[in-house]
Amino acid sequence: MKRVYDIGWSMLLIVLFVACDDIFEENISDDVIMVVSPKDNEAITGNAVTFVWNPLDGADDYKVQVSRQSTSEIVLDSLVSSNSLTVQMQSGSYDWRVRGENFAYTSSYSFPEGFSIESTSDLSTQNVFLSAPSNDFYTKNNTIILSWSRLEAAASYSIQVEKTVGNNTSVALQQDEISSTNYTLDSNILDEDASYKWSIKAVNENSETQFSSRTLFLDTAVPNPPTLTAPNDDDTVSTTVDFSWSLGQDTGTVQSPLNSLLEIATDENFTSIVQSYTLDGGDTAQQHTFSTTGEFYWRVLISDGAGNQSPYSGTRSITVE
């Protein structure tokens, strides 16, 4: 009988939790978003479309759908937090619509608006859309594959890579007549820890695009290990404990974002880890509540955005009473 009551209480708590969220979320079910552009069967020359709509009060995100007019096939179904979205599209005729969403409700979709993408050989009105890696990408690997989307009117692509160390910037690579939509940077280019700006443009016989650029960071320096601050070794503590530590100094050329991994175990070899926490953004404190008493051990490891890991800190023990 007790198990039935437990299940009943659990279901009640879930219902109350969802109901509370519904209370705090604005009901947008009857709202309709007003689109700004494109609309009224607008003809767009180029390969980039920017969808814009008016913000909706109570909406946290927006779902944008684009379909081909000839087949009704959905070619884009994207969820964004802003009231605009820029994407690359092939020539053709399309319809698009947008709706607002929050945790509990969705608005109605806007009335579909038609538009068309007109093919042109003039690359000056087009853009190269870079695919990977993402902008401000940190890595410890000195071999990286760059990729970008194909342009229908492009005969070839040009690449340029600029390396910045401190205040000094130099051209590490410049190459034309690339026929594919990817290029591998190896250790001949990524030859030291630095910031690398890579840029791609499309070219044909009569025109070319502007360069599209992103930045990546090569960081091979291992972070220094952290220093444990509190609680002290062999401390006796209550069941709620505030753990803290300090980060080691990062002496590398590139300062990648740092993360901390706190591990708590029942044995000094950490074969039985009872809890681990990953803290982003340089946070160096974490509260933990123990469900049992006894002796526990804790340590911290630092990793950076490039994938480098420090050695573990020293290990401390505590007794929870």
Kindly report the three-state secondary structure assignment for every residue of 283-314. CCEEEEECCCCEEEEEEEEEEECCCCECCCCC
Structural domain includes residue 267: yes
Residues 35-64 have pLDDT tens digits of 999 999 999 998 999 999 999 999 999 999
Residues 287, 259 share a domain: yes
Residues 230-272 have pLDDT tens digits of 999 999 999 999 999 999 878 889 999 999 999 999 999 999 9
In the chain, % of residues over pLDDT 70: 93
Q: What is the DSSP string of 66-96?
A: EEETTT--EEEEEEESSSEEEEE--SEEEEE
Calpha distance 227→97 (Å, rounded): 54
Residue type at position 95:
D
CATH number at residue 39: 2.60.40.10
Residues 88-109 have pLDDT tens digits of 999 999 999 999 999 999 999 9
Calpha distance 306→96 (Å, rounded): 39
Structure confidence at residue 23 (pLDDT): 55
Residues 138, 102 share a domain: no
Residues 136, 212 share a domain: yes
Structural domain includes residue 29: no
Residues 203, 134 share a domain: yes
Is it the case that residue 20 has pLDDT exceeding 70?
no
Is it the case that residue 6 has pLDDT exceeding 60?
no
Tokens of 177: 């007549």
Structural domain includes residue 17: no
Is it the case that residue 207 has pLDDT exceeding 90?
yes
Residues 169-195 have pLDDT tens digits of 999 999 999 999 999 999 999 999 999
Structure confidence at residue 18 (pLDDT): 46
Given 117, 149, 178, the domain boundary residue is 117
- Could you tell me which residues come within 8 angstroms of residue 9 by beta carbon, excluding any fewer than 6 positions away? none
Calpha distance 278→301 (Å, rounded): 10
Structural domain includes residue 232: yes
Residues 232, 180 share a domain: no
Structure confidence at residue 11 (pLDDT): 53
- Mean pLDDT of the residues in the chain: 92
Tokens of 205: 């016989």
Please state the domain count of the chain.
Answer: 3
Structural domain includes residue 246: yes
Structural domain includes residue 77: yes
Calpha distance 86→147 (Å, rounded): 19
Q: Which domain holds residue 107?
A: 35-117
